[in-house]
Amino acid sequence: MASTTTARTASGGRAAKATAARDASGRPAAAEDDGDSGSRSIAAVERAMDVLLLFGRSGQPDLGVTEIATALDLTKAAVHRILTALRSRDLITVDPNTRRYALGHAAIALGRAYLARTDLRAMAAPELRQLSATTGETATLSLRRGDTRLYVDQVVPDQELRMEVALGIPYPLHAGGSSKVFLAFGTESDVDAYLERHPLTAVTEKTVTDPAKLRRQLAAIRKRGYATSAGERQIGAASIAAPVFDHDGHVVAVLSVAGPAMRFQHEDDTLAEAVVAAAGRVSAQLGHIPA
């Protein structure tokens, strides 16, 4: 009898535990454990994303564990675990000699996939609107097509005296501020090839037609970070143009402000700062990190 009583007591204990394992809604209490586990998993994913994003914005080619831990306020042990997980997916790579970490080919592939579907016009549109509103001039976006440059978008200010550009019309790369930016921030071999293929034909009387003078202008543009033009492509018009770079540092587009030349004589510095800043923000969206 004693053994029977013990068995019943044990059975009753199991029943009590089974009853206690259910909450007021009748669901197993294990669901709470699942919720806690899910929260921990989400937190781990967020920390891993923070590490990846840190590589993207640091401006350094590689980072050490201590640098990452300090920047993100994590323990070194936590950083090691995160880096190990990211390395297993080729999102992060490590130099075995220096023990410093860098983005892996899988992370770079993600970036390239994003860039492949990027619409530059859509990306630059808010900057064009702000640039035109800030400067009171026409803001433009230009792309290169072979040995020509064409406007692909513009925002025109609400002014009685204003400038509008023709979209989709090809212009030579040696005439005008936006055109010369493409040459200035390209390679020397690109400039050499352009000069070999094309005579520097005058578009207006102010268009540069001397190769040596053009090279000097391009060097000056590279040094100050933007180009200016007054009547080189259109008489009576002036512009200031700055490059948009991709993640590899290649110039992929040009932003400019253009308008009547009389309004550009005393405001070049202010206008140039606005154009360069706008172009820099678009470049940042393309993954460009200034040197």
The CATH architecture one would assign to domain 2-113 is: Orthogonal Bundle (1.10)
The closest of 228, 147, 229 to 190, measured between CA atoms, is 147
For the stretch 53-83, pLDDT in tens is 888 776 677 899 999 999 999 999 999 999 9
Question: Does the structure show a pLDDT above 60 at 21?
Answer: no
* CATH topology for the 118-285 domain: Beta-Lactamase (3.30.450)
CB atoms inside a 10 Å sphere around CB 188: 9
Q: Which residues does residue 255 pair with via DSSP β-bridges, in sequence order?
A: 141, 242
Range with lowest mean pLDDT among 25-34, 124-133, 217-226, 259-268: 25-34
- Name the residue ranges covered by the structural domains of the chain: 2-113, 118-285
Amino acid letter, residue 248: D
Mean pLDDT, all residues of the chain: 82
For the stretch 249-281, pLDDT in tens is 899 999 999 988 888 875 568 889 999 999 999
Question: Does the structure show a pLDDT above 50 at 226?
Answer: yes
At residue 254, the 3 state secondary structure works out as: strand
**pLDDT given at position 33:** 54
For the stretch 144-161, pLDDT in tens is 988 889 998 999 988 777
- pTM for the predicted model, two decimal places: 0.63
At residue 215, the 3 state secondary structure works out as: helix
Question: Does the structure show a pLDDT above 70 at 237?
Answer: yes
Q: Is 2-113's fold the same as 118-285's? A: no
Question: Does the structure show a pLDDT above 80 at 207?
Answer: yes
Q: Which residues does residue 259 pair with via DSSP β-bridges, in sequence order?
A: 238
Rounded Cα distance, 104 and 265, in Å: 49
Contact assessment for residue 87 and residue 104, using Cβ atoms and an 8 Å cutoff:
yes
**pLDDT given at position 111:** 67
Question: Does the structure show a pLDDT above 70 at 20?
Answer: no
Q: In the chain, which ranges are E strands?
A: 92-94, 101-103, 138-145, 148-155, 171-172, 227-230, 237-245, 251-260
CB atoms inside a 10 Å sphere around CB 238: 25
Contact assessment for residue 163 and residue 189, using Cβ atoms and an 8 Å cutoff:
no
Rounded Cα distance, 146 and 193, in Å: 12
**pLDDT given at position 72:** 92
